[in-house]
Amino acid sequence: MSQTAEQNCFHCGLPVPPGADYAVEIRGEKRPMCCHGCQAVSQAIVDGGLVSFYDHRDGPSQRPEDLLPEQLQKLDLYDEDKLQQTFVEIDEDSLKSASLILEGITCAACVWLNERHVKALAGVVEFQVNYSTHRARVRWDDSQIHLSDILKAISAIGYIAHPFDASRQEAIYKKERRAALKRLAVAGLGAMQVMMLAVPLYGMEGDAGFDPEMRTFLRWISMLLATPVVFYAAKSFFVTAWKDLKRRQLGMDVPVALAIGAAYTASVWSTIYDGPDVYFDSVCMFAFFLLSSRFLEMGARHRAGQAAEELIRLIPAVATRLVNGREDIVAVDELRPGDTVLVKPGETIPIDGHVLEGVSSVDESLLTGESLPMLKKVGDDLTGGSVNVESPLTLCVDRVGEDTVVSGIVRLLDRAQTEKPSMARLADQVAAWFVGVILLIAGAVAFWWWQHDPMHAFAITLSVLVVTCPCALSLATPVAITAATGTLTRLGLLTTRGHALETLSKITHIVFDKTGTLTEGRLRLSAVHCLADEDEQQLKALAALLESRSEHPVAQVLARSATAMSATIESLQATPGKGIEAVIDGRVYRIGNLDYVAELAGMPSAYPSQNNRSTLVGLCREDQWLAVFELNDTLREQAVDVVGQLQSAGLQVELLSGDAQSAVASVADQLGISRWHAGQKPEDKLNRIRQIQQSGGVVAMIGDGVNDAPVLSGADVSFAMGSGTQLAHASADLVLLSENLRHLLSGFNMARDTVKIIRQNLGWALGYNLLALPLAASGMIAPWMAALGMSTSSLVVVVNALRLRRK
C-alpha cells in the first residue's frame, strides 16, 4: 500500500516515515502505523476485540516503547517471592494483590482498554484503574497466572505498569481522604437539617403566639443533630487548638474551637434550662464551611505527594550482580557496598557507584535535565536512576539504600512538603494577632456587661465572638485560591502550593532555564551539508542505516530522520562517545563527532567546526568526507510571543542556562531577551536569584531538571514543565502540564485577578467585622442576628470568589 508523506500514524498520531509500511486492518480498513511498536500494540487491541477504544479515546495514544525481549524477560523477576515481599499482599483465599503505577493513560478510553484487556486474562480476579491517580489495583490467582504475565499483557497494548509499595504513602492518603470525607458528610448533612430547623426557631422570636413547648422540642432535635457535628466532625479543630495552646501559640483554630465550643455549650445550656437563644445552626454551618476548604486543600497536597512517589520508579527493582564472573540477578535491596554490578546498554543504573570496567555514555537527563548523555570512563561516578546508553559497564557499588542520591532527593522532598511556605507562616502570625485581639475584646465586653447587666452578658459576649468569628476572613483567601486553582487546572496548569498564586501576582522577574523550557528539549535534524557529489536523501538514508543500531540520542535522531537504505552492514564497531565505524560493500564508513571522522578521512573538514550552537555529526567514506549533519534543539512554538507579552507586561525576563555561551546567546537573541547568563551551575543560578531577591525583586523561576530543584525552591514561585523530571514537579509550586507556554500568561493574569478578589473579600470581611463589632458589643445584635450576618458575610465571600471559575 503506497503512502503519502503527510500521513500520520493511526495509533500515536506521529507522522509516518516515508516508505514505512506498517499497517493494521481496523474494521476492514487499512490504517497506517508509524513503527513496529504501534503496529504490534494496535494489532493486540484489534485481536482482543477492543476496537471501540479508537472510537472513544480523546486523542492519539502515547507511542509505545519497544520493549526488547530481554526487558520483557526482566519482568519475570517480579514473580520472585523475595521481591514480591515489598509490594504484594496475600489474602485468605491465597489470592495475591498488588498496586501498580500505570504510565501512558491519557483519557478514559485508556482506562477502559486496560481494564477490559487485563480482566480477560484467565486468573485475574480483579483489575481496577483509578482514572484520577493513574494507579491500578490487581488481584490474581497465582496458580493460574503470574504477575509478570499481567505486566506483559499491559505492555502489549502500549502501556507501562510498575508495581509499587502502596503502604508507604498511598494507604495513608486513602485513610486521610476517607476520614475527611466522613467528617464532611456528617457536618454537611447535619448542618442542612439544623439550618432547616433554625428557620422556624428564628420565626418564632417575633411571634407573640408561639408555642414554648414546640420551641423546646425543636431545640432538642437541633441539639441531637448538632452533637455529632461538634464531637465528630469538628474534633480536629479542638485537637489542633489544644496543640497550639500547649505550644503557647495562637493559631487560627483557637478562636474556631472557642467559638464552636462556647456556642455549643451555651446552646446546650439554653436548651436544658430554657435560656434565651440557641446557636446550633451557626455551629454546624461554621464547621461545614471550614471542613470543606480544608478538604480541597488536602486534595492539592496529595496530588503533589503522588508525583514524588513516582520518583521511586527511577530505580529498577533488580540488578545483575557479578560474583566470580558469574551473572546473578538479585533484588536491588540486597546489594551491599563493594558488590560488582553489570549494567547492560539500555538498562537503568540501579545504584550509586563508580565504573570498574568499560566506557559508555550515560543519560542522566532524569536527574540533571541535561538532554545529551555524558561519557563515563573507568573511575567515574555513576548515579542510580540514570540510563546506560551505549555499551556494558561494570560498576562497584558505593552507597546503598538511604544513602543514595535518589533517596536523598525523596527525603528532601518529603521535608519540603511538610514545611510551610513563608507566606503561609506569615498568614498564621497575622491570624494569631487577630485571634488575640478578638479574645481580648470579647473578654473586655464580657467584663463590662457583667458589671452593668449580668443577665445579658453571656448572650452579648457570644454575639461578639460569633460576629467577629474569622469565618469570612479565613474563607476569603482559600476559597478564591481554590476557585482559581480549579480553573487553571483545567487549562493544564497545576498548582501544588497554596501560596503560589499570591506570590505570582507580585513577581517582578521571570527567570527561564533554557533546556526544555523555551526549547523543546529534543534534537532535530536542522541542516545537511553535502560535501561530496551525492544526493542529500541518499546521505540521510546512509546515516540512518549506520545509526540504526545505536541507542545514543543523537544517533536516534538521524536514524529516524529517513528510512534506512537497504544494504548489508558487514561489520560494525561503536566507540562510545565518538561514533560508529562500519563496513558496507567492502568500504569503511565512519559517522560520529568531527574529530573521530577526521581520523579516518585524514583531512580537516571543509565545514567550519567552531559552530557550537548545534551538535554536528560527520560522515565519511574511507578518505572522503560525505556530509556534516547539523542537529538543533528547536524553540517552542509560542516562546517568542509569550516572552514578548511578559516583557510588555513590565516584567524583567532573564535566561540562566547551563549551556555554552553561543547556544544561549542564539536563543536569547531569537527571543529578544537582553539579560542572560550561560554556563551556569545550579549554585550560580541560585546565587543570581538571591541577588535579585536582595535588590527587592520577586522571582518566578521556570525550570525542568532535577538540578533545577534547589533553584526552583529558592525562587519565590516556581514552574516546572510537565515533561520535566518528577522531582522538578515536586519542588515546583506550579506544573505546566499542558506544555503550552501561553498558559503561563493565563497563570499570571489569573494570579492578579485572584489577588484582587482576595483583597475585595478581605475588605468586605474586615469592613463587616468593624461595623458589626461595636453593634454587638453594645448589645444591639442578638446572637441569631450575628449568626445570620456571619453566614451572609461568608456567602458573599464565596460567591465573589466563584467569579474566578467562569473566566
Partner 1 sequence: METLYLLIPIAAFLVVVAVGLFLWSIKSGQFEDLEGPGFKILMDDDKDMIPDDARLPEKNSPKKNRENVK
* Active site residue ranges: 513
Q: Are strands 652-656 and 675-677 parallel, antiparallel or unpaired?
A: parallel
Considering only the stretches 103-111, 312-320, 611-619, 638-646, report the one whose residues sit in contact with partner 1 under the rule CB under 8 A: 103-111
CA atoms of 751 and 488, how far apart (whole Å): 10
Q: Please identify which residue in 5, 28, 122, 451 interacts with partner 1, judged by CB under 8 A.
A: 28
Q: How far is the CB of 112 from partner 1 (least distance, A)?
A: 5
CA distances from 183 to 230, 232, 287, 798 (A): 10, 7, 10, 21
- For partner 1, the binding residue among 224, 296, 315, 651 (CB under 8 A) is 224
Q: How far is the C-alpha of 354 from the C-alpha of 352, rounded, in Å?
A: 7
**Closest to partner 1 by CB, 82 or 174:** 174
**Residue ranges in 515-544 that form contacts with partner 1 under rule CB under 8 A:** none
| Contacts with partner 1, 48-67, as mask; x by CB under 8 A | ----x---x-----------
Answer for the pair 662, 614: CB distance below 8 angstroms, yes or no.
no
The angle at the Cα of 401, spanning 395 to 404, to the nearest 5 degrees, equals 65
Q: How many residues bind partner 1 (CB under 8 A)?
A: 36
User: Could you give the CA distance from residue 36 to residue 41 in angstroms, rounded to a whole number?
Assistant: 9
Answer for which of 61, 99, 114, 193 binds partner 1 (CB under 8 A) is: 193
By the rule CB under 8 A, 330 interacts with partner 1: no
Give the DSSP letter string of 220-267: HHHHHHHHHIIIIITHHHHHHHHHHHHTT---THHHHHHHHHHHHHHH
Of these, 94, 132, 324, 695, which contacts partner 1 (CB under 8 A)?
132
Residue 36 interacts with partner 1 (CB under 8 A)?
A: no
Closest by CA to 63, choosing from 16, 116, 125, 99, is: 16
Q: Is 211 in the site for partner 1 (CB under 8 A)?
A: yes
Given a contact cutoff of 8 angstroms between Cβ atoms, the answer to whether 259 and 271 are in contact is no
Instruction: Determine the interface stretch with partner 1 among 215-223, 343-351, 434-442, 537-545 (rule: CB under 8 A).
Output: 215-223
Residue 108 or 780: the one with the smaller Cβ distance to partner 1 is: 108
Q: For residue 184, what is the enclosing H or E element?
A: helix 170-206
The total number of residues written for the chain in this structure: 807
User: Binder to partner 1 among 23, 72, 221, 588 (CB under 8 A)?
Assistant: 221
DSSP β-bridge partners for residue 468: none
Angle between helices 170-206 and 212-228 (to 10 degrees): 170
Q: Is the Cβ of residue 28 or residue 69 nearer to partner 1 in the bound state?
A: 28
CB of residue 361 to partner 1, shortest distance in Å = 41
Among 225, 250, 332, 438, binds partner 1 (CB under 8 A): 225
The CB-of-547 to partner 1 minimum distance in angstroms stands at: 40
Nearer to partner 1, 112 or 764 (CB): 112
User: Does 421 help bind partner 1 (rule: CB under 8 A)?
Assistant: no
**Footprint (CB under 8 A) of partner 1, residues 104-123:** 107-109, 111-112, 116
Q: In this chain, which stretch among 63-71, 218-226, 329-337, 676-684 interacts with partner 1, using CB under 8 A?
A: 218-226
Residue 780 contacts partner 1 per CB under 8 A: no
Q: Which is nearer to partner 1, 190 or 576 (CB)?
A: 190
Residue 393, strand partner residues: 343
Distance between CA 187 and CA 181 in Å, rounded? 10
Does 231 bind partner 1 (CB under 8 A)? Our answer is no
Residues 6+ apart with CB under 8 A from 225: 190, 193, 194, 197, 280, 284
State which residue, 51 or 771, has the beta carbon closest to partner 1.
Answer: 51
Least separation in angstroms between residue 755's CB and partner 1 is 29
CB atoms within 10 A of CB 165: 16
Cβ atoms 136, 128 nearer than 8 A? yes
CB of 475 to partner 1, least distance (A): 23
**Dihedral sign from CA coordinates of 504, 510, 513, 517:** positive
Binding span for partner 1 by CB under 8 A among 75-83, 172-180, 447-455, 646-654: 172-180
Q: Are 757 and 805 in contact (CB under 8 A)?
A: no
Q: Chain centroid to CA 783: how far?
A: 46
The dihedral formed by the CA atoms of 79, 83, 86 and 88, expressed in degrees to the nearest 10: 10
Q: Which stretch binds partner 1 (CB under 8 A): 127-135, 458-466, 497-505, 584-592?
A: 127-135
Q: How far apart are CA 450 and CA 432, in angstroms?
A: 27
- The residue (of 214 and 329) whose beta carbon lies closer to partner 1 is 214
Closest separation in Å from C-beta 111 to partner 1: 6
Nearest C-alpha neighbor of 578 from the set 608, 600, 545, 604 = 600
Residue closer to partner 1 by CB (options 245, 296) is 296
Residues that bind partner 1 (CB under 8 A): 27-29, 52, 56, 107-109, 111-112, 116, 129-133, 174, 177-178, 181-182, 185-186, 189-190, 192-193, 196-197, 211, 214, 217-218, 221, 224-225
